[in-house]
């Protein structure tokens, strides 16, 4: 985590380039795809209705609505031996709870907000108003993060990112060297099987819509666990 312009995306690229097995679970979003974005490569693009259905099915580790669009990451997309994500501090709280053994890093900018505006404008992808807004909230984000249990708080050094990244990695223990350090076996507790009700003469009663939805979710959880037990799939325990 970290304010805009601190090098989070650059750090993720460093990890993916230098350590086998590192991958970034894609964000699922209901916003329209931008011209250069590729579905299934940059993000997973779905309709608003499909996203809301996923929420109903408890498919997300965490999700949020920004203006009129939804964003979130699903349990099933954490498919790499080592999963790395860029997440704001509100999302980080949810990930720390879901994955208590995860290693968390907060990047602190080494420049004041005024200089950060210039950095964000050079990076592109936003106007001056947005750059000023993002830069202005940086100090408050850092202050809030310091009340949280991040494993590392790291002040970035302009022009020396690679050296800073190497120092971060050296303090991460075996998170990257042991690619199965966080593997678990069972993912979702399976609810009891539903048996049909019968009339007095023994005739089975038809299932209600609620019953059918219960059975559908139960079957989906069973299949999810079965997939997770495959040797090529690294799974995490999902809270009941």
Each residue's pLDDT tens digit, 157-166: 988 999 999 9
d(CA 226, CA 41): 26
**Distance (Å) of CA 140 to CA 34, 130, 171:** 30, 16, 26
Each residue's pLDDT tens digit, 58-105: 899 999 998 899 999 998 888 888 899 999 999 999 999 888 888 999
Q: Which pairs from 189-195 meet CB under 8 Å and 24+ separation?
A: 189/240, 190/218, 190/221, 190/222, 190/225, 191/218, 191/221, 193/218, 194/218
Dihedral (CA of 33, 95, 131, 168) sign: negative
Average pLDDT, the chain: 85
Each residue's pLDDT tens digit, 121-179: 988 778 899 899 999 999 999 999 999 999 999 999 988 999 999 999 999 987 776 55
Q: pTM for this one?
A: 0.70
**Distance (Å) of CA 183 to CA 77, 94, 171:** 15, 19, 21
pLDDT of residue 126: 81
- More confident of the two residues 223 and 151: 151
What average pLDDT does range 45-55 have in this prediction?
94
């Amino acid at each position: 985590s970290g304010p805009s312009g601190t090098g989070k995306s650059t750090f993720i690229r460093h990890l993916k380039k230098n350590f086998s097995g590192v991958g970034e679970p894609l964000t699922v979003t209901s916003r329209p795809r931008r011209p250069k974005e590729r579905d299934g490569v940059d993000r997973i693009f779905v309709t608003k209705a499909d996203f809301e259905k996923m929420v109903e099915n408890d498919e997300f580790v965490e999700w949020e609505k920004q203006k009129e669009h939804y964003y979130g990451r699903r349990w099933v997309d954490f498919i790499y031996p080592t999963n790395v994500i860029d997440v704001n501090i509100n999302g980080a709280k949810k990930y720390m709870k879901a994955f208590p053994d995860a290693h968390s890093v907060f990047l602190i900018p080494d420049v004041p907000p005024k200089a950060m505006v210039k950095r964000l404008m050079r990076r592109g992808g936003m106007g001056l108003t947005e750059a000023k807004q993002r830069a202005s909230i940086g100090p408050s984000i850092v202050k809030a993060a310091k009340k949280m249990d991040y494993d590392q708080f790291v002040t970035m050094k302009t022009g020396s990112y690679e050296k800073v990244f190497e120092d971060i990695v050296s303090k991460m223990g075996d998170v990257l060297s042991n690619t199965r350090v966080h593997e678990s076996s069972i993912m979702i507790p399976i609810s009891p099987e539903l048996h049909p009700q019968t009339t007095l003469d023994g005739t089975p009663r038809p299932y209600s819509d609620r019953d059918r939805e219960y059975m559908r979710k139960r079957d989906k959880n069973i299949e999810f666990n079965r997939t997770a037990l495959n040797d090529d799939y690294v799974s995490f325990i999902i809270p009941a």
